[in-house]
Amino acid sequence: MSNPPAGSERPGSSDDTGNAMPLTTKIANLVISVVLIAIAASAIAATGDFPRSMLATDVGAARFPIIHAGALILLCLILIANTLRTPTAPTATAKAQIGIAGYAGVALGMLATAGCIVAMEYVGYGVATAVYMAVIMALMGQRSPIWNPVLAVGVTALVYGVFHYALQVPLPVGSLFE
């Protein structure tokens, strides 16, 4: 019987750099997490005077922001814990170039998000979100002519079902369909 040699082949060893994270990524994760926790806490404070529902099955206006903000805070705490647990990767000498295409993709994603919010007012949640998801998947590199629309409609229907039927939260119908 032989023992595995000490070093990188042992899971969890100190020199195991397979899942190491660059220092800049670790700092970005920590800063983003702290900012999101502050935003979630301010959302809880700002919505504290929302009316409470008298029905036991109704989520109500008061509980809904608390549920979302609480989930966001929990996920940020998990990200902070995982970031702190992950070893730091040695700095690379050559930086990866993002390029103009990367920045253009981010700008298009932000424009698509703003367009979705505006379009939701006119065409409703379903149409605006399904088109938005297909566009975002295409921007992220998923360009299947069959799977993009199927996933966009499926995920939109799932989210609509959860909010409309399970949580009884009305979603925008759109002024064109009223």
Domain boundaries, the chain: 20-51+59-94, 97-169
pTM: 0.57
Residue pLDDT, tens place only, 136-152: 999 888 888 899 999 99
Q: Which two tokens stand for residue 97?
A: 């170039």
Dihedral class, residue 11 (left if φ above 0, else alpha if ψ from -120 to 50, else beta): beta
From first to last of the 178 residues of the chain, give the pLDDT tens digit.
Answer: 444 444 444 444 444 556 888 888 899 999 999 999 999 999 999 988 887 777 766 667 778 888 889 999 999 999 999 999 999 887 765 566 777 888 888 899 999 999 999 999 999 999 999 999 999 999 888 888 899 999 999 999 999 998 888 878 888 888 887 7
Q: Which two tokens stand for residue 50?
A: 């929302």
Rounded Cα distance between 57 and 59, Å, is 6
Chain position carrying tokens 């019987």: 1
From 29, 131, 5, 126, select the one nearest 139 (Cα to Cα): 131
